[in-house]
Homo-oligomer: A and B are copies of this chain.
Amino acid sequence: MSWTRRHLLDIQSLTAEEIVTVLDTARALKEVGRRAIKTFPALRGKTVVNLFVEPSTRTRTSFELAEQRLSADIVNFTAEASSLRKGETLKDTARNLEAMNVDFIVIRHSAAGAPHFLARVLQAHVINAGDGAHEHPTQALLDLFTIRERKGRIEGLNVTIIGDILYSRVARSDIWGLTKLGARVTLCGPSTLVPREFEQLGCRVTYDLKEAIRDADVINLLRIQHERQRRTMFPGVQEYIQFFGINPARMAWTKPDVLIMHPGPINRGVEIDSETADGERSVILEQVTNGMAVRMAVLFLVNGGRGPQEVIAA
């Protein structure tokens, strides 16, 4: 099928076929990335603004490198420097950028829904690079890409997500993407951070780590973000490690071919110990590599690219 969307705002509104189109396009672009000269000039003459109102060097760098390889012109517009500090509204900032003939806005913002708002008021293509605790769609797409590349499929796999599900945009996007493609999702963590309500999204919820990981084909560990979690809900780091930290002793409970994933940056010694993070089951760095191909694919598709066949033909 051909892609027709002008924006990438979330995973929730995508069909399974659309997700597969992104993954197939990313696979074709990953092949392109192996050539000596790594550019594929689909965005030549187009301007991308990376509008990061929340700081994030990794995701911003991944997008920036993806944009460079598509030969886009790039402007980085960070909150620290911006007139948003002077009290200007997001709408005015975005409309001003559009008035400068900007073609794409990649936005990270602390407010859930900010990218959807921009997509309604702008002609430019909008890509959500993380909005509050709502969604982080390119992270979910790179997670799906990595699982499919390693396991050959998504359908029928058992995927366990461990950590602060309640406040995680990564978890939300992953849940939508995994369930749409037919995986069975288990959520695990402290009960204050993994409410039973998530069962309504089609997930299994358990507070028992052994039960959560015993049958898992994939374990996705979320970063424990001390800064964001509400103090009253978080049980304390030592208690978290004791009940939910992944280490070689807990890895002994898992299937031998389980994949260990993490969106980064890792808190070594908290949600995962170094031996496991750097071990042979870990695909954490592959996720980073795949993130570039997935972000190239998203930019290519919202720009009017039809799908992988167009990359392969180029």
Contacts and interface: CB of A to CB of B under 8 A. Distances in A.
A288 B93 CA distance: 11
Contacts of A88: 265-266
Give the number of times this chain occurs in the complex, counting copies. Answer: 3
Interface residues of A, number: 53
Contact of A61 (B33, B55, B75, B289): B75
A288 B100 contact: yes
A159 B116 CA distance: 39
Contacts of A49: 61
Contacts of A227: 86
Given A77-B57, A292-B101, A265 B65 contact: no
Most B CB within 10 A of own CB, among A39, A57, A99, A227: A57
Interface in A88-103: 88-89, 92-93, 95-102
Interface in A273-298: 285-286, 288-289, 291-292
Interface string A210-227: 000000000000000001
A274 B121 CA distance: 15
A47 interface: yes
Nearest to A59: B83
Nearest to A34: B101
A82 interface: yes
Given A88-B266, A92-B268, 15 more contacts: A38-B101, A47-B65, A55-B81, A56-B83, A57-B81, A57-B83, A65-B75, A68-B73, A69-B73, A86-B265, A92-B264, A96-B288, A99-B286, A101-B289, A101-B292
28 contacts: A33-B101, A37-B44, A37-B45, A38-B45, A38-B101, A39-B45, A47-B65, A49-B61, A55-B81, A56-B83, A57-B83, A58-B96, A61-B75, A64-B75, A65-B75, A68-B73, A86-B227, A86-B265, A87-B265, A87-B267, A92-B264, A92-B266, A96-B265, A99-B285, A99-B286, A100-B288, A100-B289, A100-B292
Interface string A50-62: 0000011110111
B82 A57 contact: yes
A249 interface: no
Q: Which 7 A-B pairs have the closest CB atoms?
A: A99-B288, A37-B45, A88-B265, A99-B285, A57-B82, A83-B265, A68-B73
Contacts of A100: 61-62, 65, 288-289, 291-292
A97 B57 CA distance: 10
